[in-house]
Amino acid sequence: MIEKTRSWLLGSRDNPQQYTQHAVQLIVFVAFLYAAAINYVTSASGYINICIQLAMSISTLGIWYRSRWHNEYQRMAITFMVMITTITLPINWFLNGGSFGPTFFLNICVFMYISVAFRKNPYYRYFGQSFAVLVPIPLVMIEYYHPEWISTYPDNETRLIDLASTSVVTSIFMLLMMENLTKKFLLRHSKVEQLSEQLRQLSERDSLTGLLNRRAFESSFSEWKETKECLTIAAVDLDFFKKINDQWGHYYGDEVLINSSTQLSEISKDTGSLAFRTGGEEFMLMMPCSLNEAYKHIQILHDRFAEMKLLNGPVTFSSGLAEVKPDESQDQFLKRVDRLLYQAKNQGRNCTVVE
């Protein structure tokens, strides 16, 4: 219920700029309303001041409404900035003790608000920041030459209450601004991480089959070697693939590769292994098991290949299967398993040679 109400009032947290903008507008609305009520109850200010505060409160609520429900966020943000800098700050200065009142606090808030709300629009940001910096100068000069124009507090206690209340509002305002900046940073950081992960996957995945590629094989081999666990790898090569391409075309050849990769992917999931496409019709199956167990897995893979439903009949593969030795480098192992693979080719294909 609370989350629904917050979403209704402020919008989605996925858009932190608008979310914070609406929160600020509602806080300012409540602050004006609160100030008018306190002034009325305590008689700390005249009716003109109370009416002005009510008018500012209603205007702010109207700005929030147009921004939140009429998709006029940018225009209302500009309107709000102009209202605060050209109307609210000067009025607050004249009616709330001038330099002895809380206007300087509010001016800092306005400056920070402009910096955050118009972060992507430098023209409005620089204009608003300049105005927020320059506005106090003529106000101070007016107070210096015409102190009688400044409405003073009836007593010091009222002044301290006003300053304390403004300090609380200012603190809440600052927290909102910081939350906005933090949320933006986290969203951007999350997007960067997602993009980085997508790029990493793209760099380690074969675009046609979706299997891991040679780069991923090399890094996985190194990582697995460091664990010093049992590791058996099969080098798999489709039989007569060039003939398939020449006879049936590359489109059909791609279909064969995709279906073959599906079988490799499924066997890898069943056995907790990793499947890689390391070349045109060349694959690697990295299995965390003994040589005997790995050989059983490869025999199952042979059976699954024989059952593949392809337009021009099933395809077969030859493979070399070997367990990685503890002191064996990646290059040494690849040469050894390639030798086994070619032995399988020379023995008539559709078989596995083990060492």
Catalytic annotation, residues? 281
Q: Which residues contact 287 (CB under 8 A, 6 or more apart)?
A: 231, 232, 233, 234, 271, 272, 273, 293, 294, 297
Considering only the C-alpha atoms of the chain, give the largest distance between any 2 of them, rounded to a whole number of Å: 109
Q: Judging by DSSP bridges, how do beta strands 232-238 and 274-277 pair with one another?
A: unpaired
Burial per residue of 213-225, b for 16 or more beta-carbon CB atoms within 10 angstroms, e otherwise: beebbeebbeebb
By CB atoms closer than 10 A (0-12, 13-18, 19+), residue 128 is buried
What residues contact 146, with CB distance under 8 A and at least 6 apart? none
321 strand-pairing partners: 234, 354
CA dist 214 and 204 (Å) reads 8
Q: Could you give the residue ranges of the DSSP H alpha helices within the chain?
A: 2-10, 16-42, 47-69, 73-83, 89-95, 103-117, 122-134, 136-145, 156-204, 214-227, 241-248, 250-271, 291-306, 330-346
Residues 331/316, Cβ–Cβ less than 8 Å? no
Give residue for tokens 């400056």: 111
Task: Find out whether 282 and 302 touch, Cβ atoms under 8 Å.
Answer: no
Nearest CA to 242 out of 339, 349, 331 is that of 349
* Tokens standing for residue 146: 């015409």
